[in-house]
Structure 1
């Protein structure tokens, strides 16, 4: 069954995320300081001595974009400055140990497995994993399947596994509303949030409940681990499906160009290790790692505490408004433990982190405690990215915590780093297209590509690369840059929709392989690549002809960045040609392919 494709990856084991060594931390801090100093030196010179008076608006625009990126670097460096894990403790043995009442009842834990349109073969392993959890002493577990699709097959699945089944008559609030409904039909002291494909590891509760010895801990987030990320196929296998000539000529060439033996490895750059092990883990030093939904466990009292306070504020505002308008009745204000929003996880995080009176904090547990499924189609990837970007922009423009009182300033800076990274969609296109503009029209953002320019520019770039290599603990630096550049058109679309007042939608990410429907996703990247290649050809020809404004240094400097940018944009185009059947087949060279009819490969 193609929808159960993930069964073949059952043997994969989660990675272990090691703490940052003191030696590496010292190196990171040194090179980060050097980068900031070199960046300031470059920007002072850039604004004071390098602006091109013959193309002043172009020059100022590029310098302004560089300055905004530097400010983003400062926020990012603060965001990941130091790693500080919360000491792990054994699970609380008594209710009072977890900041609860002093009754003799066991500590109640509810596991919520949310579903809307996912198939039974995706949801069933999640229920099986929840039932296989190792329970600490004095813990009572209840498992609920939250079916927002109101399907008979899901009700039967819940009965078969002897778990609670909760459904609704409507889909108000979507996932947030689904969770809200479950909270009103359950009573556990702690709530574990799972998506339909979240398969908790047996140690989840053993390793996370201990953090709740601190009564101020509102939730614990664990890393997302996609255990089905494609490992790719050998170039020889790939070329075999395209005939003997392809195999003899293309495989060696592509192996040399890619500097690897395999193609299709993590085609959609889904591996979230950098985000969780570098960013979330280091926000933990300020109790500021935000909730990412699945794989998290929450204190019920904290969820309802912020919901009640928010409802009281809304009632107060409405009462004042009613008094002014002399209204005799007030509309009902619903209690939303999870705010009805496409990004209900980060929204709830903001509300709890902003409650200065309660002093709620979060904990990031640095090791994997659940396995999940990654996008296996370009459409699924685009759906996920549009949802992330739309939810973030909606919060940024309408409920921005940075400009509200109540939140501690270090926590505000962590959220500001997230918002700034998404806002870079406004100035990233300037730097992306600047080399093409220069080569097409013969204008430059600097007065001259002189030795003085490179003396100021190269140290800032080189120090930044060294700093990132030091802090990222061996992770692939190019993946993040490629992802941000490839997703640029999607993020621009998300910002445009939110700015025009269209609230983000709640589509679920497809949980099965797919192929097709890629053109709407990749056409902006293809157009940009075409524009850049055309600009490179124009620049080369006009330099050869000795046209005014063109020189060898101008040509080669801009060609370097043009090729760099084209390389980043091509990742999404390459992903459009990745076919899940190739990953599922994995035959030996020369063997006959045997895959499902839905994803059959026809040799050329």
Structure 2
């Protein structure tokens, strides 16, 4: 490499890094960085097109053209993303007071087979939205025609609508509801989406502009998606959908091209009626409906606030099925309503809708990137032909500018390495979805994403991971061949330059393939509902003595909670067998069932579930958890999100079952001599090291066997002798530690 070329690489790197640093606070530096990114990558692609197509064989030429087309397609997507990110765009809220008369609102909760508990919280929260009750109606639109859902709706004073068939799936369900209702504004809510109290306050005011046809709020998810959950990385990376729902939708709003995403949206009924209702004949009826409502100068609005929260797919397999449906649906839309030819759209609307459809071809593009280095290393099929130093001269500034520009445009809501992992994980399946929908047009059944999944074991998705295993195996074989070429007299490759280029490439891809395999290990889900971290002061009452003691609720769901006892002198309250009653603010008189208690240092904790929850108590729980809950989602960023951190976290924390606190009574640390008597009249001296109403731990010099029933004698408090069962035994140096469960004069417990 010549001196001038080295100077260019150093200078371009320094300039890009300086612009990146300044772009955080200075808008002009950001614009220069983005312009440099587009210019440098354009120069790189022109060079690639003119000088690097392989000429050594027809297969290499074909692969080279595929790779080049893929790179140009990625550049076009980058141009659109840069346009969306160029200028921040936020709307000023229009209050409800701008209406001369508030419109009537119908909320459609579309359901097919979702569990009743999901619907129950959505109904309850919808009824608690701040709005005059005489102008707000909640409709459960049940395409499953289930008697239990009808009963649920009626018990909660909501309206129930069903129909004799399931024609046109969700869109048909909503269109049928339109024929049975008459509200001026229609709100669509998925069965798992729970609106906040201010949902209508923050959105409805935009309808004071007669040209506004629909308003979209982002779908925000309160549970960890498959990537976050399976990697134990909930606090380090955001939900995979957040980037589109918050960043891209906000950018589209600047060009009146907000995409309707199926839920958390409000429609002017008259605008819907003008286009014949919700679009039918495609899987993604939401996207098509939104596009049709943006024709002929109609306006749409995106409100970038957390106004409703719901459930993202809870398993990796379900996430793949959902994305397959979205991918096919987008291709169906372009076939039925081509954004380039449909009347009434602006140039930018056409561009952004085509870009949204084009995005789903990423599976094919990423497979080209995955296979290109493997085909060279395994079969000597070239995808480009150049020398290493020249490639470095053009590629390195382009690659660095892409990394830095993306980080500034994404504002730490996504990183390039995680985008690479997401795309590699989804690529084999999305490539198949695109090809089959394009060429075979195979009809697929509309499947609702499963919600409320419970499983009690860790398992590996063997079938799902097959593409990753094959690609990774090819990568490992390639690395072995590289080692043979570099460290033995055997020469497998003609071009050393091309070998160096493909070494980096295959290693970069292999890292993402390993992560995809890790993500394919499904982590157990034990709880019926997500637990939310809270800090609520409450009172715990003993139903027998009526004594009350202060506690703090530190996590909470509709079904249970974890409590911290603030009055440590009342620790015996948690060990007692009497019924406990919990009260906190509007949540009063909640009957508890205790599952476990534990002591950590000087603090005492208890895990409880709720029993005989009344309608008022349930509404109070939903209000605390969802309706009035603080927004903890909008500020989430990628923090300590390195791949090393993700991988080490997975291997440190993954296990078949979580460690659970199972004791029913508080343990007291003691040191009291005792004697264990055997059935054959033998005995062994021991020392009690802790004690509760349900069991104890003892230290002794001779081994005993788990399952044995013995007689324990010790002088401690009111207990002298008790039959005990040996639960477990551990050797500690020259001594043994054993856990004993009391069989007489004890509280109910299964574990010592």
Q: CA deviation at 1:342?
A: 1.6
Question: 1:172-251, aligned counterparts within 5 Å?
Answer: 172-229=167-224
State the distance in 2 between where 1:143 and 1:438 align. Answer: 60
In structure 2, what is the equivalent of residue 484 of structure 1? 423
How has the CA–CA distance of structure 1 residues 543 and 590 changed in structure 2, closer, same or farther, with 3 Å as cutoff?
farther
SS at match of 1:427: helix
In structure 2, what is the equivalent of residue 496 of structure 1? 435
State the distance in 2 between where 1:339 and 1:29 align. Answer: 42
Q: CA deviation at 1:391?
A: 0.6
Structure 1 residue aligned with 2:408, among 470, 475, 493? 470
The answer as to 2:271 corresponding to 1:302 is yes
Q: CA deviation at 1:590?
A: 13
Structure 1 residue aligned with 2:453, among 508, 513, 526? 513
- Give 1 or 2 for the bigger CA radius of gyration: 2
CA contact (8 A) 2:125 2:196 kept: yes
How has the CA–CA distance of structure 1 residues 445 and 345 changed in structure 2, closer, same or farther, with 3 Å as cutoff?
same
State the distance in 1 between where 2:266 and 2:391 align. Answer: 52
CA contact (8 A) 2:228 2:238 kept: no
Ranges in structure 1 where 5+ consecutive residues have no aligned partner? 1-20, 98-103, 239-261, 308-335
State the distance in 2 between where 1:462 and 1:540 align. Answer: 28
How has the CA–CA distance of structure 1 residues 180 and 267 changed in structure 2, closer, same or farther, with 3 Å as cutoff?
farther
Structure 2 residue aligned with 1:121, among 113, 117, 132? 117
The answer as to 2:510 corresponding to 1:566 is yes
Question: 1:75-224, aligned counterparts within 5 Å?
Answer: 75-92=80-97, 94=99, 106-135=102-131, 140-224=135-219
State the distance in 1 between where 2:514 and 2:82 align. Answer: 28
The answer as to 2:42 corresponding to 1:31 is no
The answer as to 2:348 corresponding to 1:410 is yes
CA contact (8 A) 1:79 1:413 kept: no
SS at match of 1:573: helix
Q: CA deviation at 1:227?
A: 0.6
SS at match of 1:581: coil
Structure 1 range deviating more: 498-507 or 167-176 = 498-507
How has the CA–CA distance of structure 1 residues 204 and 51 changed in structure 2, closer, same or farther, with 3 Å as cutoff?
same
1:122-177 CA distance string (max 9 Å, x none): 11010110011111x69710001111111111011001110100011111111111
The answer as to 2:293 corresponding to 1:349 is no
CA contact (8 A) 1:440 1:536 kept: no
State the distance in 2 between where 1:232 and 1:486 align. Answer: 10
How has the CA–CA distance of structure 1 residues 230 and 180 changed in structure 2, closer, same or farther, with 3 Å as cutoff?
closer
CA contact (8 A) 1:25 1:471 kept: no
CA contact (8 A) 1:232 1:266 kept: no
State the distance in 1 between where 2:597 and 2:133 align. Answer: 52
Question: 1:212-291, aligned counterparts within 5 Å?
Answer: 212-229=207-224, 263-265=232-234, 270-291=239-260
Q: CA deviation at 1:416?
A: 1.6
Question: 1:394-433, aligned counterparts within 5 Å?
Answer: 394-433=332-371
SS at match of 2:311: coil
Structure 1 range deviating more: 553-562 or 206-215 = 553-562
Q: CA deviation at 1:425?
A: 3.1
User: Pairwise CA RMSD of aligned residues?
Assistant: 3.3
Q: CA deviation at 1:463?
A: 0.6
State the distance in 2 between where 1:588 and 1:530 align. Answer: 48
Q: CA deviation at 1:83?
A: 2.5
Provide TM-score, normalisation by structure 2.
0.63
State the distance in 2 between where 1:390 and 1:128 align. Answer: 34
State the distance in 2 between where 1:601 and 1:206 align. Answer: 44
Q: CA deviation at 1:504?
A: 4.4
State the distance in 2 between where 1:518 and 1:494 align. Answer: 19
CA contact (8 A) 1:439 1:538 kept: yes
SS at match of 2:149: helix
CA contact (8 A) 1:373 1:511 kept: yes
State the distance in 2 between where 1:507 and 1:555 align. Answer: 46
CA contact (8 A) 1:109 1:140 kept: yes
1:429-473 CA distance string (max 9 Å, x none): 222211111211335433333322101111111111111111111
State the distance in 2 between where 1:180 and 1:566 align. Answer: 47
State the distance in 1 between where 2:195 and 2:161 align. Answer: 20
In structure 2, what is the equivalent of residue 9 of structure 1? none
Structure 1 residue aligned with 2:524, among 565, 573, 580? 580
Structure 2 residue aligned with 1:533, among 476, 480, 484? 476
1:526-558 CA distance string (max 9 Å, x none): 212222222222233234345253555543432
State the distance in 2 between where 1:588 and 1:469 align. Answer: 46
1:352-381 CA distance string (max 9 Å, x none): 22x22xx21211001110010121112221
How has the CA–CA distance of structure 1 residues 540 and 397 changed in structure 2, closer, same or farther, with 3 Å as cutoff?
farther
In structure 2, what is the equivalent of residue 542 of structure 1? 485
CA contact (8 A) 1:146 1:166 kept: yes
CA contact (8 A) 1:289 1:363 kept: yes
Q: CA deviation at 1:88?
A: 1.1
Provide TM-score, normalisation by structure 1.
0.78
Specify which structure has the bigger relative contact order, considering alpha-carbon pairs within 8 angstroms and separated by 6 or more residues. 1
Structure 1 range deviating more: 390-399 or 371-380 = 390-399
How has the CA–CA distance of structure 1 residues 288 and 263 changed in structure 2, closer, same or farther, with 3 Å as cutoff?
same
More helix by share: 1
How has the CA–CA distance of structure 1 residues 277 and 581 changed in structure 2, closer, same or farther, with 3 Å as cutoff?
closer
State the distance in 2 between where 1:217 and 1:474 align. Answer: 32
CA contact (8 A) 2:363 2:429 kept: no
How has the CA–CA distance of structure 1 residues 290 and 61 changed in structure 2, closer, same or farther, with 3 Å as cutoff?
closer
CA contact (8 A) 1:437 1:535 kept: no
CA contact (8 A) 1:28 1:468 kept: no
State the distance in 2 between where 1:148 and 1:268 align. Answer: 36
1:287-311 CA distance string (max 9 Å, x none): 111100111111111111111xxxx
1:384-412 CA distance string (max 9 Å, x none): 11111111121133422123332100111
SS at match of 2:96: coil
SS at match of 2:186: strand
CA contact (8 A) 1:422 1:491 kept: yes
In structure 2, what is the equivalent of residue 15 of structure 1? none
Query: How many corresponding residue pairs?
Result: 514
